[in-house]
Amino acid sequence: MSYRKGEKMKKICSLMIIGLMAIMPLNIKAASKVEIACDKQTYNVQEEAVCTLKATTDEEIISVSGSLNTEDQTFEIIPTASDIWEGDAENGDIQLYTDVEKTGTFNIVTMKVKIKEGITVGESQEITLSVNDIMLGNVDGVEKSAGNVTKKLTFVNKKEVNEETNNNQNTNANEEAGQTTNGTQNEIKNPSTSDVNIVIIGLVTLIVLTGVIVGVRRLKKLSK
């Protein structure tokens, strides 16, 4: 009985190994990386950000799918599929394919991002650009999830920043002017010690001269 059980286990193990060998070629060879790269990170509120969704993989990819985040009402995205793809990415729905296998690093979609007209932006506005549910399909017809990717962008209102800077400069100038005026008033109200000494010396000199003149007049009268 034990011999038969051993033979049975061997057959089961052999079948499992054969099954795994049959499945393995269908799996994507290495993990794929998908990212969003932008021309810069900070933009003026009137500017248009240009970002690219790109992938890096060792697999031979012939299809890409995913969805752009269009729920945020403060900005709008204008996606354009790279020339290497057929299909489109309109309305945030990415459905692309090609007859030529793509491997290594390649572009998927170019996205132009800007603040919507009528949106009031203070000193700055940070937005999060995201592409969700990304799937990469290989030449064997197997799709593998590449997850979600995000990118934070900052739009700066230079007008607001300049106005705040000017207001700060005016406030500082007024404060400095006020300090100068107060300093002048203090100088007038509180004359220095040297000025007081000059006044005292002048008064003493005047008194002495007056006394000399009076004394001379009295001597003249007595001599007569």
11 lies in some domain = no
Q: Is pTM beyond 0.85 here?
A: no
- Tally of domains within the chain: 1
CATH of the domain at 59: 2.60.40.680
The residue segments making up the domain with residue 117 are: 30-161
The predicted-structure confidence for 143-178, as pLDDT tens digits, reads as follows 999 999 999 999 998 865 444 444 445 555 556 555
Contact present, 37 and 131 (Cβ < 8 Å): no
110 lies in some domain = yes
194 lies in some domain = no
4 lies in some domain = no
pLDDT confidence band for 69 (50 / 70 / 90): confident
Type of residue numbered 59: E
197 lies in some domain = no
What is the SS3 assignment for 120?
coil
13 lies in some domain = no
49 lies in some domain = yes
Q: Which helix (H) or strand (E) holds 207?
A: helix 193-223
* pLDDT value of position 218: 64
**Residue 77: beta bridge partners?**
113
pLDDT reading at 135 higher than 50:
yes
115 lies in some domain = yes
Of the CA atoms within 13 Å of residue 37, those in its CB half-sphere come to 9
Task: Using the CB atoms, write b or e for 184-196: b if 16+ within 10 Å.
Answer: eeeeeeeeeeeee
